[in-house]
Structure 1
Amino acid sequence: MSRVLVVTNDFPTRRGGIESFVLALCERMPANEVVVYTASMPGDQDYDRTLAFPVHRDPSRILLPTPAVARRVSKVFRDEGCDRVVYGASAPLGLLAPRLRRAGAVRQVALTHGHEVWWARVPIARSLLRRIGDSVDVMTYVSEWCRDHIAPALSDEAASRMQRLSPGVDTSRFFPGCGGAEVRRRLGIAPGAPVVVCTARMVRRKGQDTLVRAWPAVLSHFPDARLLLVGDGADRRRIQRLVDDRGVSGSVVLTGSVPWDAVPAFTDAGDVFAMPCRTRRWGFEPEAFGIVFLEAQACGLPVVIGDSGGAPETTRLTRSRVVSGGNESELAAELCGLLQERRKPQSVSELSGDDWGSVVRTWRHLLSD
């Protein structure tokens, strides 16, 4: 029996898009075919008991490709009878690939997301990324934009072996009417009120601050509108201050963090989804893809997408828009236009190629080649 060891820093109890992606891939494999090796995190023991597959936690809080970590990973690889390895993020853990090849790995797949883009730009990191590409059997990419920025750092042979593996949307969880009415009721939002929703970590790249700055212009056209900001993060206090300074606290709802299984209902509570993401730090902090845009479109919502990185590639529905991430006047105009048409139904059939079934088929193919 083929068994896969997933070596990753990106795993619950940490929360984020990469963590959710890696977990979903593991959960969609037979439980006796996957083993996870990851870092120690608060609450990890209780969480791991809920999973059907084994999880090994390194003593460290962050996995680095040190000799000590390499020894511990190799031991788990052998003890669990694994023959394949997946790195939850190529850099830096893909540097373990030669050691695991010697331990018996017959197939190694390294996932890339967004941070490998800056590895591809910095001279020393670029050479390490090239080494990873030559050491694994295949390196994946989540968007064409990511591939275009990562491939030049790789050897021609490694670049030719890159294959796309983007996150999928679970259409059994995200669909029109999956609980939004109840969320509105609990939050005291009138059933007919226009609602713009954003479900994302509160970090500056995601653009919640641009939404708040654009909101007074939206209210001038839709006085009863509500802005529903779902999530938590390092930028939350700044966002709350901005809400207060702009005098829109009565129309903006900050929910804080919500349970993973509640996210579909909060998404469904909106009429329009907006995350005007922007690239920061001189191009080193882009939005690589943006699974939240697919989730919102699966709920039938038009989306307003920031033009950062690979995010525009998530556009599926005809009434969705791409805007300049920091342009609040452009954002306000698009929000008003979409709210004006909010009762027009949208077909979600365009998302059929983005469901988890197609992603898992690609995933299994990558592991078996």
Structure 2
Amino acid sequence: MKTLILTNDFPPRAGGIQQFVHNLALRRPHGSVVVYAPAWKGAAAFDAEQPFEVVRHPTSLMLPEPSVLRRAGQIIDSHQCDSVLFGASAPLGLLAPALRGRGVERAVGITHGHEAGWARLPVARRLLRRIGDGLDVLTYLGEYTRSRMAEALSDEAAKRMARLAPGVDETLFRAGAGGAEIRRRHGLEGRPVAVCVSRLVPRKGQDTLIRAWPRVLREVPGAALLLVGGGPYRKELEGLVDAMGVRSSVVLTGSVPWEELPAHYDAGDVFAMPCRTRRRGLDVEGLGIVYLEASATGLPVVAGDSGGAPDAVLDGETGVVVSGRSVEAVAVRVAELLADRDLADRLGARGRSWVEREWTWERQAARLDGLLSPEE
């Protein structure tokens, strides 16, 4: 059995979806996968290091059009692929029915969260329904995304849905991954630290954390907030830091290399990202893999209630879920966990155990193997 992974999202282009698809590809059996993806700067060097063949489309975007269908069919023929995995179901999943005529027996499409927004828009909703009807399995991240997408699918397609979420490399995201050096770099030694690792955009709630910080400082003097990541919201956040008078307590690192992310999580005592849903449900958190990476590092998490974010937290066991719009709720929970080391340690330990039990890449790869194997 050989699988064609047909995807617009693949390294060296950066992003969470790209890492999701790549990690699944790496864990397929040797010789069982070939990838068809768009051209991207640095692709030749990246592709040369992969344990499978990567075929690049001439442009940086692939659409469900004749040229992509023709090239995909050629790859299926030359590699004798009997299954296809769409790295993101929309829109390339529309090609599934045509690819069956080239010998594909099994078609699986991955979704990532934004499809829950598609289900609310008339034209996109119809396309999502067509995609679901053409696939053997449409995956979902968690209950939130499943329920929203199911409303747009036919009854039969909804019954064929299956859960497949990103995994966490628990050998990289762990306590002792280099946090002491990050603390030294930013002058945070000896201070209680809340860390948020995320792109700087309004949905993620970094502004709520900054607004909450004066209240946190009243409960936990000397506490520091470490905001890790870059993005278009940085200028507004910098202005808010000054407006709230917390410049000495808040550090914005900007973008950091991927290989330094485990150390930045490890620099914190608590992880907080109070995400919130925006634009009438169109701008929503699909899952929140950052909460699981923080749990793997042994940190208790304070999560917002946007979309599927609560699926990545065992509320009251690995962390707490709060309204991402409530400055007061965020301040109370972050301060509580920074002040109560025993409570923080208990939640962090449970989070680590949960990740090891349910969220490793090996577990997700095993789930994918079951989805790609034809039913007996």
**In structure 2, distance between residues paired with 1:204 and 1:84:** 39
**In structure 1, distance between residues paired with 2:208 and 2:244:** 12
Does residue 1:167 correspond to 2:171, yes or no? no
Task: String of CA shifts for 1:43-65, please: whole Å, max 9, x gaps.
Answer: 32232233222222212222211
Corresponding residue for 1:349?
353
Conservation of the 8 A alpha-carbon contact between 2:295 and 2:318: no
**1:342 CA displacement:** 2.9
SS in 1 for 2:67: helix
SS in 1 for 2:173: coil
**1:267 CA displacement:** 0.6
RMSD over equivalenced CA pairs, Å = 1.6
Corresponding residue for 1:228?
226
Corresponding residue for 2:59?
60
Residue ranges of structure 1 left out of the alignment (5+ in a row) = none
Does residue 1:339 correspond to 2:338, yes or no? yes
**1:33 CA displacement:** 1.5
**1:290 CA displacement:** 0.9
Corresponding residue for 2:135?
136
Conservation of the 8 A alpha-carbon contact between 2:27 and 2:362: no
Task: String of CA shifts for 1:102-153, please: whole Å, max 9, x gaps.
Answer: 1211111001111111221222221111111111111110001111000121
Q: Which amino acid letter does the alignment assign opposite residue 90 of structure 1?
A: S
* Greater shift in the superposed pair: 346-355 or 223-232: 346-355
SS in 1 for 2:368: helix
**1:94 CA displacement:** 0.4
SS in 2 for 1:32: coil
Corresponding residue for 1:33?
32
Alignment of 1:16-27 (within 5 A): 16-27=15-26
Aligned structure 1 segments of 4 or more residues deviating by more than 6 angstroms: none
**In structure 2, distance between residues paired with 1:338 and 1:205:** 23
* Greater shift in the superposed pair: 99-108 or 54-63: 54-63
Corresponding residue for 1:365?
370
**1:95 CA displacement:** 0.5
Task: String of CA shifts for 1:17-72, please: whole Å, max 9, x gaps.
Answer: 22221111111123421221112223322322332222222122222112222222
Corresponding residue for 2:217?
219
Residue ranges of structure 2 left out of the alignment (5+ in a row) = none
**Aligned partner (choices 310, 313, 331) of residue 312 of structure 1:** 310
Q: Tell me the TM-score normalized by structure 1.
A: 0.95
**1:227 CA displacement:** 1.0
**1:245 CA displacement:** 2.8
**In structure 2, distance between residues paired with 1:246 and 1:42:** 41
SS in 2 for 1:223: coil
SS in 2 for 1:15: coil
**In structure 1, distance between residues paired with 2:12 and 2:239:** 29
Q: Which amino acid letter does the alignment assign opposite residue 257 of structure 2?
A: P
SS in 2 for 1:197: strand
Q: Tell me the TM-score normalized by structure 2.
A: 0.93
Conservation of the 8 A alpha-carbon contact between 2:5 and 2:84: yes
Q: Which amino acid letter does the alignment assign opposite residue 17 of structure 2?
A: I
**In structure 2, distance between residues paired with 1:227 and 1:163:** 38
Corresponding residue for 1:262?
260
Conservation of the 8 A alpha-carbon contact between 1:7 and 1:36: yes
SS in 1 for 2:138: strand
**1:343 CA displacement:** 4.9
SS in 2 for 1:5: strand
**In structure 1, distance between residues paired with 2:238 and 2:39:** 32
Q: Which amino acid letter does the alignment assign opposite residue 361 of structure 1?
A: A
Q: Which amino acid letter does the alignment assign opposite residue 205 of structure 2?
A: G
Q: Which amino acid letter does the alignment assign opposite residue 260 of structure 2?
A: A
Alignment of 1:188-267 (within 5 A): 188-190=187-189, 192-267=190-265
**In structure 2, distance between residues paired with 1:211 and 1:12:** 32
Conservation of the 8 A alpha-carbon contact between 1:170 and 1:356: yes
**In structure 1, distance between residues paired with 2:243 and 2:10:** 37
Structure 1's 54 and 319: CA in aligned 2 closer, same or farther, altered over 3 A? closer
Structure 1's 170 and 205: CA in aligned 2 closer, same or farther, altered over 3 A? same
Corresponding residue for 1:286?
284
**In structure 1, distance between residues paired with 2:177 and 2:262:** 7
**1:319 CA displacement:** 5.2
Conservation of the 8 A alpha-carbon contact between 1:9 and 1:39: yes
**In structure 1, distance between residues paired with 2:232 and 2:182:** 25
SS in 2 for 1:105: coil
**In structure 1, distance between residues paired with 2:183 and 2:79:** 47
Structure 1's 172 and 13: CA in aligned 2 closer, same or farther, altered over 3 A? same
Corresponding residue for 2:119?
120
**1:215 CA displacement:** 1.6
* Greater shift in the superposed pair: 297-306 or 343-352: 343-352
Conservation of the 8 A alpha-carbon contact between 1:276 and 1:324: yes
**1:166 CA displacement:** 1.5
